[in-house]
Structures are given as structure tokens and as C-alpha cells.
Amino acid sequence: IIEERDVGRVWSYRDITDRVRAERELREQSEWFSVTLGSIGDAVMTVDVHQVVTYVNTMAQQLTGWSKDDAVGRPIEDVMRLLNEVTREPARNPIGAALAQGVVVALGNHTILIRPDGTEVPIEDSAAPIRDPGGEIIGAVMVFHDVSDRRRRDLALAESEERYRLLGQVVPQLLWTANASGSFEYGNERWYKYTGQTPEQSNGRGWLDVVHPDDLGKTIGALKRAVEIGQPFELERRLRGADGQYRWFVTRGVPLRDDNGNIIRWYGSSTDFHQQKLTAEALREEYAITETLHEVATALATVLDLGKVVQIITYAGTQISRAQFGAFFYNVPDESGGSYMLYTLSGVPRERFDKFPNPRATQLFGPTFRGEGVIRSDDIRKDPPFG
């Protein structure tokens, strides 16, 4: 490719192949750039160093309400009128900061775009500088998109959470939520008031501190199984109150799943049924005692063997007192005044007592053997008179 000039009688020629090739590539890149930006889902605008609009893609035209012909050549402030949603004050356009700082800038929190007809569109926006091959800033590009649907979802979620929070304050149950793995995230006011824990103390696995030590294993096991199989669970366990006392609660948990069926959160409640639990246990114990006494009465009326009768009574006394084992001794007079011999045993095999010394009228056994009264102790090792 050559360029021809008439200089009189002299002709000169200059090779411009590289320039033409560069111009062709630039046009192709420009067309590719235009087609690419015109097809993406985000709105895109570019400006020069004076913040004058040089390009507007289709999505930007739809979102701003400005046509390409009207927008190109105008200052960005004319085309992009922005407000802060909270303060209702004019919001800065990130393009200015991108040009001044030479870095990517995002200032889209609570940003509203005002269209020419006055309608407001919540957007998220960001801007980045455009540089020439030498690194000089020659303009900036702004990318933004409509977040109206997300704002509506966020608002609906916030309203739903507020309703849940208010509901959680009026129900008598202790309400809680946990993440997909079962770690505590939230408790209603009654949870913190009853347990005396702060939110920070309850979070994660901290809430396990209020579970009765005897119920801790089954609590962890039930939660682990529920997470593994993804099914609701229910269990009875004791929870410590702020006063240090334990009360019985029935706890239920159900999973919340996303559209793909994956568990994203657990919702649960713990209902106080302490009195019902104690009443039910008392009724069961009373029934068991009645049955035992009935068996004893029947034995007294029908069994003639004294040894068998005493064995039945020993067994009954052991059951009623919920002891580990029970023994009956009787006094055999001897030269020293008496020897207490094992007569019947309940709860363990008799051979377990073969080498056990027979009791004497010690401080512990004396009152009973002398007929002075009953000695009771939950743990003899901790009882001051005998320990």
C-alpha cells in the first residue's frame, strides 16, 4: 500500500501499511468493544478525562432513560443524577474518584438514580480508569445495575425477621436459630433471660454450657444425627437457668432449605415442662410403689417361708428407696452381747458380700440397730457425721 503525492516532477512514496493495519485493528477492537458492552447485562457508560459521556450501551440507555444520541457529549452529572437513599442528599459519582485516584471505585451503597421523568431506581455502581498504552488516564468506565428486586427481597426479609423477632418475644418458649452445621446463631429475649447468657456466650457451641452434664451427650448426639440426615429432631434435656437451677425442657428443631433442597438454617424451640416431668415421674413412682406394696401384701398373706417373706420385703424396700442394693441383718446373741448376721440381700449376688465384714453398732449403724430411728444419707462419703 503506498501513498502518492504530486511534487512537480518528483514523485515520493511512503509505506503506510502499519498505520492502516493499526487503524483497522482499532476499528475492529472498537466494534468488538461496542458489541460486547452492548450485550452484557450491566449498564455501561464511558467518559473522557473531562467527565463527558463518550459511550452508552443499550442497558444504560434503558436504565437511565437517556438515548445514546442525547447522552453522548453531555457531562456525566446531567445523565447520571444520583441521590443517597438514606440522606436524600446528592451522591458522588464514582467516575470522578476513579479519574482522580486512578483506581477502581465503588460508591454504590444506598445509591438512587433519578431518571428524566423523576422516577427513582436503586442501583449499585462502580467505576475504573481507562488508560492508553503508555499508562496515561484518558477516561473512565462506569458499570451499574438495577437492584430494585433485591431491595424488595431485602425489605420483605427484614419485615419477616421483624415479625419473627416480635413473635419470639411474646411466646413462652425459648426460641433459637442455628446455621446449617448446627452452630447457635440467635436466641430470643427469653433465651438470654432464662440462661443468663449473652449473645456472644451462646453463639457457636457456647450454649452447650447450660445443658445438664448428664444430658450433654444425648444433646450433642441428637443434634449431630439431625444435621447428618437433615431431619427434624426432638429431645428432652435439662437447661440451667440464670439462678443456677436446672429445669426440664423439650426441644424441637426443624431445618430450613433453599430451592435446591440444601439446609441453610435450623429453627428450634425449647418448651419448659419441668413440672409436668416431675408430676409424671412422681405418678410413675407412686404407681411402682403401690405395685410393690401389693406384691408384699400378697406375699405376707400367702408365703409361709419366713426367709422368702423377708427376701421379698428386702427387695421391696430396695426398689422403693431406689437404692443400688439392700441388705437385711438380724441380731444373734453371743458371748459379747450380739452379732449382726446377713440374712437377705437384694440388688447384687450374695457372693458379693461373702467377704464383707458384718456391721457393728458403730456411729453409722448404731441408731438403727438400737431402734432409735432411720439414718438417711445421699452420699455417706460427704456426710459430716460419718464421712
Q: Check residue 1 and give its pLDDT.
A: 63
Q: Once rounded to an integer, what is the mean pLDDT over residues 98-103?
A: 90
Proportion of the chain above pLDDT 90, given as a percent: 30
Report how far residue 191's alpha carbon sits from residue 178's, in angstroms, rounded to the nearest whole number: 14
192: confidence class by pLDDT, cuts 50, 70, 90: very high
Is the pLDDT at 25 greater than 60, yes or no? no
Q: Check residue 152 and give its pLDDT.
A: 79
Q: Check residue 2 and give its pLDDT.
A: 62
Which of 199-203, 222-226, 324-328 is least confident?
A: 324-328
CB burial of residue 103 (10 Å; 0-12, 13-18, 19+): exposed
Bridge partners of 141, per DSSP, are 46, 128
Is the pLDDT at 34 greater than 70, yes or no? no
Q: Check residue 124 and give its pLDDT.
A: 87
- For 257-294, the DSSP string reads E-TTS-EEEEEEEEEE-HHHHHHHHHHHHHHHHHHHHH
Report how far residue 34's alpha carbon sits from residue 289's, in angstroms, rounded to the nearest whole number: 91
- For 208-235, the DSSP string reads GGGB-HHHHHHHHHHHHHHHHHT--EEE
Q: Measuring CA to CA, which residue among 95, 94, 241, 245 is closest to residue 174?
A: 241
Report how far residue 82's alpha carbon sits from residue 127's, in angstroms, rounded to the nearest whole number: 14
Across the chain, what does the average pLDDT equal? Answer: 83
Backbone angles phi and psi of 284, in degrees to 5:
-65, -40
Q: Measuring CA to CA, which residue among 133, 194, 187, 197 is closest to residue 165?
A: 187
3: confidence class by pLDDT, cuts 50, 70, 90: low
Over residues 104-131, the pLDDT tens digits come to: 988 766 788 999 999 988 888 889 999 8
Q: Check residue 321 and give its pLDDT.
A: 82
Backbone angles phi and psi of 113, in degrees to 5:
-95, 130
